[in-house]
């Protein structure tokens, strides 16, 4: 199998990073992978000794907070931390030093079969969209779900594939890249200038990235073997980052989210759009960071929301 990097994205500190690490190690052991992949942890807490015991050695382990952005962290212009997953994913992209990168969210447990699906994607040279399921009140021991809790959200893509008896994996469009569980050649993400940070403060970043990748001619396949189960029990998930999708209550075409979809869902849309006034070339940014330079920081006093011109500093 080719070398790859696992990017674990969490904007807040979570003890349940161990769930993912332990379940991934079990998958490594099941598959017989000789060397653990590189690991990049964005924002989440982890126990260094436990991670090393799970096969992720210090030489291939990186930890970082999300790169400077206007939505959260030290350089935010908002009054509190808002959703900024695009910035987190781009942080991992800039720190990645392997040909492939795989993204996961916090509080998730990896199901057996992921590495089989990933190897097929690497051999077939396509983007892998993985499956997910969301639950409340599940318990996990040593990377194994001992009590399933309550299912709160199922993956409609998985049900569709089962209903039509689709092959595993099967071709899909860019709009199917969601669920915070996907893998892609790093070069293809650099080609489209990373994950669109124009989606920060709102969401939809996975789908928009999928559309860009598809518009650049890269194949995407949905693979239900690559599945994670995510626990979203409110009292254990920590405070939810604020988001705002403006335009609700009016015509669907005028909603902020659908405006974003319309912006990227056209063949000529091949490059990510970032924060107006704080744009960047991710190839250059990555080269600078890997060379030891500091992250660029927002330099303006005022940033305007692309949707309606609202000053982002007034987002509460």
What are the tokens at 309? 């011109």
> Can you identify the CATH homologous superfamily of domain 4-294?
Spore Coat Polysaccharide Biosynthesis Protein SpsA; Chain A (3.90.550.10)
What pLDDT shows up at residue 281? 97
Which residue, chain included where needed, has tokens 């990377």? 143
What pLDDT shows up at residue 240? 77
What are the tokens at 173? 């469009």
What pLDDT shows up at residue 19? 86
The domain spans of the chain are: 4-294
Prediction pTM value: 0.95
What pLDDT shows up at residue 33? 84
What pLDDT shows up at residue 21? 84
Alpha-carbon torsion (238, 242, 243, 246), positive or negative: positive
| Gap between the terminal Cα atoms of the chain | 47
pLDDT one-digit tens code per residue, 289-298: 999 999 999 9
Supply the DSSP symbol for 107.
S
Is 64 within 8 Å of 9 (Cβ atoms)?
A: no
What pLDDT shows up at residue 63? 85
Q: How many Cα atoms sit within 13 Å of 234 on the Cβ side?
A: 1
What pLDDT shows up at residue 39? 87
What are the tokens at 257? 């989210």
What pLDDT shows up at residue 202? 92
Environment class of 261 (CB within 10 Å of its CB; exposed 0-12, middle 13-18, buried 19+): middle
What residues in the chain have per-residue pLDDT under 70? 11-16, 44-59, 238
What pLDDT shows up at residue 55? 60
């Amino acid at each position: 199998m080719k070398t790859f990097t696992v990017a674990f994205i969490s904007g807040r500190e979570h003890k349940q990073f161990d769930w993912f690490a332990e379940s991934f190690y079990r998958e490594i052991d099941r598959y017989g992978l000789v060397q653990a992949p590189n690991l990049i942890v964005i924002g989440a807490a982890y126990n260094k000794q436990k991670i090393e015991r799970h096969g992720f050695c210090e030489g291939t382990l990186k930890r970082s907070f999300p790169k400077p952005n206007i939505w959260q962290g030290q350089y935010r212009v908002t009054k509190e931390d808002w959703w900024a997953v695009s910035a987190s994913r781009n942080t991992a992209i800039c720190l990645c030093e392997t040909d492939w990168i795989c993204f996961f969210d916090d509080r998730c447990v990896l199901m057996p079969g992921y590495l089989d699906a990933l190897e097929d994607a690497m051999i077939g040279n396509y983007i892998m969209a993985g499956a997910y399921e969301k639950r409340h009140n599940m318990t996990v021991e040593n990377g194994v779900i001992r009590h399933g809790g309550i299912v709160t959200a199922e993956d409609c893509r998985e049900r569709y594939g089962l209903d039509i008896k689709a092959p595993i994996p099967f071709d899909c469009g860019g709009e199917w890249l969601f669920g915070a569980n996907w893998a892609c050649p790093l070069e293809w993400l650099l080609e489209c200038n990373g994950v669109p940070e124009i989606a920060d403060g709102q969401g939809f970043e996975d789908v928009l990235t999928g559309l860009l990748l598809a518009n650049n001619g890269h194949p995407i396949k949905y693979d239900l073997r690559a599945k994670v189960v995510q626990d979203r029990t409110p009292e254990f998930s920590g405070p939810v980052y604020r988001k705002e999708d403006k335009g609700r209550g009016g015509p669907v075409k005028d909603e902020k989210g659908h405006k974003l979809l319309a912006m990227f869902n056209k063949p000529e849309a091949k490059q990510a759009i970032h924060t107006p006034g704080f744009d960047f070339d991710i190839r250059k940014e990555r080269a600078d960071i890997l060379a030891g330079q500091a992250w660029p920081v927002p330099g303006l006093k005022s940033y305007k929301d692309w949707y309606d011109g609202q000053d982002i500093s007034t987002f509460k």
